[in-house]
Amino acid sequence: MQPTDVHLDDAQLSIEQVVAVARHGAAVSFSAAYEARVEAAAALVTKFVADRRVVYGVTTGFGDNYTETISPEDTRRLQENIIVSHAVSVGAPIPDEQVRAILVTMLGHLGRGYSGTRLQTLELVRELLNRGVTPVVPGSGSLGYLALEAHIALVLIGRGRARVAGVVLPGADALHAAGLSPIRLEAKEGLTLLNGIMSVTGIAALAVHDATSALRHADVIGALSFEALRGTTRALDPRLHALRRAPEQQRSASTIARLLDGSALAERHRDHRVQDPYLIRAMPQLHGSVARAFGDAATIVDEALGSLGDNPVLFGDGSGDGDAVMGGNFDATSIGLAMDSLKAAAAVLAHHSERRVDRMVNSTVSELPPFLATTPGLDNGLMIPQYTAAALVMEIRGEACPATIDSIPTSAGQEDPISNAYLATQQATRTVERLRYVLAIELLTAAQATDLLDSIDASSPALAAVRTRVRRDVPFAEHDRAFGEDIETLYTLVCSDELLEITGTPTIGAP
């Protein structure tokens, strides 16, 4: 197996594995133990149907129809009905990487052997990933599960639509193009494929990964701004940070100090002020607080990846029999709250980044030319990129209200409350994207500012390497140009690991 492949066995999925499959096309395989667990649980469902036991979603209807009994002859039709009737999300499709994140999370959850989905079904889900068949999933109108998964499940039964090699085809044609065939769902499989926390967990894994990456970039970019604004490194004294029981703050202070090590510019201005403005002086405290919130969100998502959110849950007794327990593991409130917290923390980080941009372009406090222009007045310099950063921060604030505080009852009152975690997760995704744009604008601004100071003193080796990398694609602004193109270029850079690697800052997944 290649190092990037994901082998599902007794260990739970990790956030990094979800990213590897969803974004980088890592192949998925099953262990023998995985397959045995799946087949044992599927055998339990077969027994329950034969025994005509009352099991929600197996021999009963769904939601408020749980009082209606389903005959063994209708169990297949029941599973198809739940798929087609629940495929009702609308609007523009969610990104392919989010669909793939849901698919691999589905394999992680259902492969634990407590759901009753057949191995044949999970093998088809796996092959959608491995052969590049991506269901088209409308992104609006889902409460957090059911609708998104239903559009995915449609493709498994040869309906719906899917993208193959960039072309959208009817579900059956997409399967055929990849050498696959539709399946006929058996008892409980339709419910199992739709139920639980699979969609919000998969999408949240991507959001947490990207937020953590953005934060590590914020330390690097913030250090460049620290140098440009001639901050005093006395505020990075490790003795100071040791007195705050906040390991994330200590790591941020250590990282920023390391990045500034060897900076003649920072050394010259070590005593430039008695103390710097809050944005510069308290950067480790600010970044450390955000790191704690992001870390807590990552812990919750990691726990969710190793969980089972199905209902009912099947427990074998070792003799070929067992029971089904109806409960509420499908609730996604914990993930919704984690994503709401992540949104708030990202809003704080974006605000601080934008404020540093403002200080660098504001000549009344920067001690630099107005808007960092070489010919102020004739050239606007970086005046308007700061406007963009301000607008992005306001957009972030617009979605920062917790989604999990809202709920509307559904299914004739049978399902109340609703976690609203899907909305929180998609808002978190959009928030992190905007945060990265704000950081790209700060990087553009800090590089221009330090270039203007370069004739006085040199940057540290690490930050000089950052500027060199920036200047490879974005030249110093001698005069006005289309800075929007520069922002897009640096956004792409912030989304990669390059700046982390060239400065020796750990990438995501590293210690």
Is residue 23 in some structural domain?
A: yes
State the Cα–Cα distance between residues 350 and 389, nearest whole angstrom. Answer: 8
Q: Determine which one of 37, 86, 217, 359 is catalytic.
A: 86
Q: Does residue 442 carry a catalytic annotation?
A: no
State the Cα–Cα distance between residues 22 and 206, nearest whole angstrom. Answer: 9
Identify the pLDDT of residue 509: 64
Task: Kindly state whether residues 162 and 297 are assigned to the same domain.
Answer: no
Q: Determine which one of 16, 23, 56, 399 is catalytic.
A: 56
Identify the pLDDT of residue 290: 97
Q: What is the pLDDT of residues 271-313, one digit of tens each?
A: 777 788 888 999 999 999 999 999 999 999 999 999 998 889 9
Is residue 250 in some structural domain?
A: no
Following DSSP, what letter does each residue of 286-323 receive, concatenated? Answer: HHHHHHHHHHHHHHHHHHHHTS---SSEEEE-SSS-EE
Mean pLDDT of 249-263: 96
Task: Kindly state whether residues 446 and 491 are assigned to the same domain.
Answer: yes
State the Cα–Cα distance between residues 203 and 326, nearest whole angstrom. Answer: 26
Task: Kindly state whether residues 190 and 214 are assigned to the same domain.
Answer: no
State the Cα–Cα distance between residues 484 and 382, nearest whole angstrom. Answer: 11
Q: Does residue 281 carry a catalytic annotation?
A: yes
Task: Kindly state whether residues 162 and 93 are assigned to the same domain.
Answer: yes
Radius of gyration of the chain (CA): 26
Q: Does residue 356 carry a catalytic annotation?
A: no
Q: What is the pLDDT of residues 439-468, one digit of tens each?
A: 999 999 999 999 998 766 789 999 999 999
Q: Which of 148, 175, 195 is the last residue of a domain?
A: 195
Residue 127 or 508, more confident: 127
Task: Kindly state whether residues 349 and 498 are assigned to the same domain.
Answer: yes
Output the six-digit token pair for 316.
């074998």
Is residue 282 in some structural domain?
A: no
Q: What is the CATH number of the domain that holds 472?
A: 1.20.200.10
Q: Does residue 114 carry a catalytic annotation?
A: no
Is residue 1 in some structural domain?
A: no
Q: What is the pLDDT of residues 75-93, one digit of tens each?
A: 788 888 889 999 999 999 9
Task: Kindly state whether residues 297 and 150 are assigned to the same domain.
Answer: no
Q: What is the pLDDT of residues 346-376, one digit of tens each?
A: 999 999 999 999 999 999 999 999 999 999 9
Task: Give the domain extent around 42.
Answer: 6-195
Q: Determine which one of 161, 241, 269, 281 is catalytic.
A: 281
Is residue 507 in some structural domain?
A: no
Is residue 317 in some structural domain?
A: no
Q: What is the pLDDT of residues 158-179, one digit of tens each?
A: 999 999 999 999 999 999 999 9
Q: Does residue 272 carry a catalytic annotation?
A: no
Identify the pLDDT of residue 510: 54
| Helix residue ranges, H only, 131-282 | 147-156, 171-177, 189-194, 198-228, 238-242, 247-260, 264-268, 278-281
Q: Determine which one of 123, 415, 433, 498 is catalytic.
A: 415
Residue 152 CA, chain-centre distance (Å), reads 20
Q: Determine which one of 186, 195, 287, 352 is catalytic.
A: 195
Q: What is the number of domains present in the chain?
A: 2
Q: Does residue 86 carry a catalytic annotation?
A: yes
Q: What is the pLDDT of residues 327-347, one digit of tens each?
A: 888 999 999 999 999 999 999
Task: Kindly state whether residues 173 and 83 are assigned to the same domain.
Answer: yes
Q: Does residue 433 carry a catalytic annotation?
A: no
Task: Kindly state whether residues 349 and 494 are assigned to the same domain.
Answer: yes
Q: What is the CATH number of the domain that holds 12?
A: 1.10.275.10
Identify the pLDDT of residue 454: 78
Q: Whole-model pTM? A: 0.95
Task: Kindly state whether residues 182 and 222 are assigned to the same domain.
Answer: no
State the Cα–Cα distance between residues 221 and 494, nearest whole angstrom. Answer: 10
Q: What is the pLDDT of residues 404-439, one digit of tens each?
A: 998 888 877 777 788 899 999 999 999 999 999 999
Q: Match 């920067």 to its residue by tokens.
A: 366
Q: Determine which one of 68, 77, 278, 387 is catalytic.
A: 278
Task: Kindly state whether residues 137 and 215 are assigned to the same domain.
Answer: no
Question: Is the confidence at residue 57, as pLDDT, over 80?
Answer: no
Task: Kindly state whether residues 145 and 209 are assigned to the same domain.
Answer: no
Q: Which of 143, 177, 195 is the last residue of a domain?
A: 195
Residue 439 CA, chain-centre distance (Å), reads 17
Is residue 334 in some structural domain?
A: yes
State the Cα–Cα distance between residues 186 and 386, nearest whole angstrom. Answer: 57
Identify the pLDDT of residue 18: 97
Task: Kindly state whether residues 40 and 145 are assigned to the same domain.
Answer: yes
Question: Is the confidence at residue 68, as pLDDT, over 70?
Answer: no
Q: Which of 140, 173, 195 is the last residue of a domain?
A: 195
Is residue 467 in some structural domain?
A: yes
Note whether 263 and 458 are within 8 A (CB): yes
